[in-house]
Structure 1
Amino acid sequence: MESPLRRGWSWLTRLFRQTASPPPYRPEPQPLAPFEQALDEGLLIARHGVMLAVKNRLILRALREDDSFDDEATAEMIDEELARAADEQRANAGMIIRARARAGLSGGIADHAHDYHLIDSGTLRRRENLYEALAESLDGSRSDPEFIADLTERARSAAWKDIGANVVARLEKRMVSFADDPDYILDRQDRLRELLEVDLPALEAQAKDDTA
């Protein structure tokens, strides 16, 4: 019987030739949402991101710069964040354009989820159009006074809610530190006596003077 080595193949080569190669990557096709639905959902997410960015800027403005809330300044923040979000979507569209150009030169089947081929050109074109439509919608929001007014109020409410929660947390921490102070309990009677004998009579006298 003729040896495999005499036929030009080593036993290691024959072993690997007999081992089945893994199947190619074939992702299951996923149904796509209607374009308008995808656009509405993407716009909702992008606008929420703008609101969060403005809220954070309002908090920093209040805590670091001690500035009061101002509608005009907030509107400027919203315009800046909307412009930034629109630029991000245009950058995403540019990435898809380059990916689609590479995919048009590559046939076959994908090796992984981000390995685009000619067969993916239609899906990539749809994503490109979606990013461009999102950028256009965000740019349009910059000149929508009703949207600007609504987002201004939402960002302001969210900012003051976070600031209030932070103040309450700090007060609770201070109360805990007071309670842990051994002199806190000992001095409590003196503080109550001062409240009853000094502070309350002074407030009562002031109230009588105000009504006289």
Structure 2
Amino acid sequence: MVADATLVSLAAVRQAVKNLMLVRALRDAADFDEEWYADAVRREFEVLASQADAEAARLTKARAKATGRRGRAVTADDYHAVDTRRLRRRIRVLGELAEQLRGLAGDDATVASVIDEARIQALDEIAQAAAAAHGRGRTKPARGVARSKALQALREELEDYAD
């Protein structure tokens, strides 16, 4: 159960970082800064770990209240004595998940991997959006002066990348 929750959490962190990359690149025109994103990945892992800790604390209180209660549940959070074993397991899993997420936040290889995967996904999303934009493709090749201007602009852009 912890492994599954960890995989879901990794996907959530990757998605959050991808969204940050898109916002910083498109709205803020910020350059890619690996250290900034490494801090962002660590913050996201810590947020998820804190949420797991908070949920474990909430379930610990619910488990204490459920002990000795008989009857049937009326709502999803209406725990009774029959639920205490499941609650204990959920509390244990949440605690292990929080520990695992904090461990991942401290693992530089995992942080770098999340950044790389998020960056690829962000670039793919930008490329797909650009390709799908209405009216972006030319129906006829440029000719004459328009062609010369387009080629010159391309040369200048390539020179900028070469620097």
Fold-level match, TM-score > 0.5? yes
1:24-43 residue pairs with structure 2 within 5 A? 38-43=1-6
Q: 2:148 aligns with which of 173, 184, 199?
A: 199
Structure with greater contact order relative to length (CA < 8 Å, sep ≥ 6) = 2
**Deviation of 1:69 (Å):** 1.5
**Deviation of 1:195 (Å):** 5.5
Distance in 2, Cα, partners of 1:107 & 1:199: 83
Distance in 2, Cα, partners of 1:175 & 1:145: 40
Aligned: 1:71 with 2:34: yes
> What SS does the aligned partner of 1:174 have?
coil
| Number of the residue aligned with 1:80 | 43
Distance in 1, Cα, partners of 2:91 & 2:111: 27
Task: Compute the RMSD of aligned alpha carbons.
Answer: 2.7
Q: 2:132 aligns with which of 169, 178, 181?
A: 169
**Deviation of 1:73 (Å):** 1.2
**Deviation of 1:100 (Å):** 0.7
| Number of the residue aligned with 2:67 | 104
| Number of the residue aligned with 1:60 | 23
> What SS does the aligned partner of 2:49 have?
helix
| Number of the residue aligned with 1:147 | 110
| Structure of greater Rg | 1
Aligned: 1:130 with 2:79: no
**Deviation of 1:115 (Å):** 2.9
> What SS does the aligned partner of 1:142 have?
helix
Distance in 1, Cα, partners of 2:50 & 2:66: 24
Report the identity percentage.
Answer: 30
Against the structure 1 CA distance between its residues 149 and 175, is the aligned structure 2 distance closer, same or farther, given a 3 Å change threshold? closer
Distance in 2, Cα, partners of 1:113 & 1:91: 18
Render the CA deviation track for 1:112-143: whole Å, top value 9, x for unaligned.
55432112111101001111110111011111
Distance in 1, Cα, partners of 2:136 & 2:39: 39
Distance in 1, Cα, partners of 2:136 & 2:125: 20
Distance in 2, Cα, partners of 1:112 & 1:52: 32
Distance in 1, Cα, partners of 2:74 & 2:29: 55
Mark the runs of 5 or more structure 2 residues left unpaired by the alignment: 153-163
How many residues align? The count is 151
